[in-house]
Amino acid sequence: MYKIIEDQVLTKTAPAAVRAEFVQHEFERLHRFSVLIFATSTCMWLVFDLIVSFLGGQGFTWRSMVFLLMFSILTVVLGFTRKARHFDGLTVLFVLGLAVGVRLIVYGVPDIIQSSWLVLAAASMLYSISVLPLSRVAFFLVQLIIWVLLNPFINTSISLFELRGVMTACYSVFLCVLTIYTFLKLREAKLYNYIMARLLLDQAYNDPLTEIPNRRSFMTVAEKHLHTAPHAHDHYLLMIDIDNFKKVNDTFGHDVGDEVLKRVAADIKAVMIAHDFARLGGEEFAIYLADVSREEAETLAGELCRRVREEPTKHPVTISIGVARVEHDDTLTQALIKADEALYESKHTGKDRYTFHHWPTDRPKR
C-alpha cells in the first residue's frame, strides 16, 4: 500500500503553492541550523583573516572590522527572521560579503597558492549553502556570486592552459556540478517526503468523504483545549445528528446519503469556520467552541440549524444539536456524554433544534 501511494505521489508534479509551503516548512525546521552556519562561517572567516593578517604581515585593518560587523549583523537578523524569502535575501547578502572578504584576504597570501585558497574557500562556501533551506533561485544566484568573485583564474598567477590550471578547472567544474546535483536531489527527496507526510496525515486526521477533520483529529484538539488556562468565557461542546438520515439512505440510496453528509459538513464548516469541528462517524458531527459566551453558542447553534434547514436542495434534511458547557473539571468523555444527552433531548422533542444540557429554564430551540 505504501509503495503504491508513493509511486502515485512521485508521478505528480507538486503545485507551486505546495512547493512554497515546503520551502517555508524547511526554513522553520532548519532555522537554528542556518543561524549556526552563519555564525560558524563568520568565525572561520575571522580566523582566516587573523592568520593572514599577522603571519602574512597585512595587519588587522578597519576593513576587517567592517566585514566582521556586517557578518554579525546579518547573523543576528537571521535569528529574528521568520520568512523563507527573507532568508534567501539574507543568504545572498551574506555570501556576497563573505566572497568579497575572502578575495581581499587571499591577496595577502603568496601568489603561487592564491588560486588554491580561492578554490578551497569556494568549496567550503558551496558545501555550506548546499545544505541550507534555500529556494532554487537563491541557490543558483549564490553559486554565480561565488564563482564570479572567487574565480581562481582572475587576478592570479595561474593560467588555464598549464597543467595546474587544467587540474584546477576540472576540480572547480566537478565541485560545481556535485553541489548542484546534491542540492537538487536532496531538495527533491525532502519535497516528496514532505508531500508523503502531508498525505498520510490527511488520511489519518481528515474524513475522506466530507473533507473535514475526523474523530481522531477532534479528540486531539479538544483535549488540548481542555488543558488550556482559563479564558474570559466558557467552552461549549456541540453534538450534531442528521435527522432521519437512515430514511434518506433507505429511500434514495447511499450515494444520496453521502451527498447529504458532504452538504451538512460544508454548512458546518461555513458557520463554524472560526472553531473546531469534525465528523465523528456515520451522521454524527461535533463542534468545540472555545472561549465563547452562552449567547454566542446559542447564536451559532441556531444559525447552523437554520442554514441546514433552508438549504435549497433536492433532498432537504434538518439537524438536531446537543450543547453542553464544558466545566473546568470535566474530562472530554464527560463533556461528550453531556452533549449526547442534550442531543437526545433535541431528537425526542421534535428535532430540527438545539438543546442545552442541564439548564432547567431552557427549552429546546429551533
**Confidence (pLDDT) at 2:** 59
Domains, the chain, in order of start with CATH, read 2-202 (no CATH), 215-356 (3.30.70.270)
Confidence of residue 337 (pLDDT cuts 50, 70, 90): very high
Question: Which of 6-10, 75-79, 233-237 bottoms out in mean pLDDT, i.e. has the lowest?
Answer: 6-10
Please give the average per-residue pLDDT across 117-129, as a whole number: 88
Yes or no: say if 322 and 238 are a contact pair by the CB < 8 Å rule.
yes
Q: Which has more confidence, 182 or 9?
A: 182
Evaluate if residue 56 carries a pLDDT over 70.
no
Phi-psi region at 42: left, alpha or beta (left = phi > 0; alpha = psi -120 to 50)? alpha
Percent of the chain with pLDDT over 70: 91
Q: Is 284 within 8 Å of 240 (Cβ atoms)?
A: yes
What are the distances in angstroms from CA 197 to CA 25, 207, 227? 12, 16, 27
Residues 108-136 have a mean pLDDT of 86
Residue 288: CB atoms within 10 A of its CB come to 23
Q: Is the pLDDT of residue 361 over 50?
A: no
Give me the residues paired with residue 88 across strands.
none
Q: Are 275 and 285 within 8 A, CB to CB?
A: no
* Residue 140 predicted with pLDDT over 90: yes
Confidence of residue 59 (pLDDT cuts 50, 70, 90): low
Could you tell me the CA-to-CA distances from 348 to 341, 344, 354 in Å, in that order? 11, 6, 11
pLDDT of residue 12: 61
pLDDT band at 83 (very low <50, low <70, confident <90, very high): very high
Is the model's pLDDT at 1 over the cut of 70? no
Tell which residue, 202, 224, 200, has the closest CA to residue 276: 224
Predicted confidence (pLDDT) at residue 287 exceeds the cutoff of 80: yes
323 within 8 A of 357, measured Cβ to Cβ: yes
Summarize pLDDT for 214-225 with one digit per residue, the tens.
999 999 999 888
For the residues 184-202, what does the mean pLDDT come to?
Answer: 85
CA geometry: angle 286, 288, 294, nearest 5 deg:
115
For residue 355, give the C-alpha cell.
438543546
d(CA 103, CA 302): 71
**Is 363's pLDDT higher than 70?**
no
Which three-class secondary structure state does DSSP give residue 270?
Answer: helix
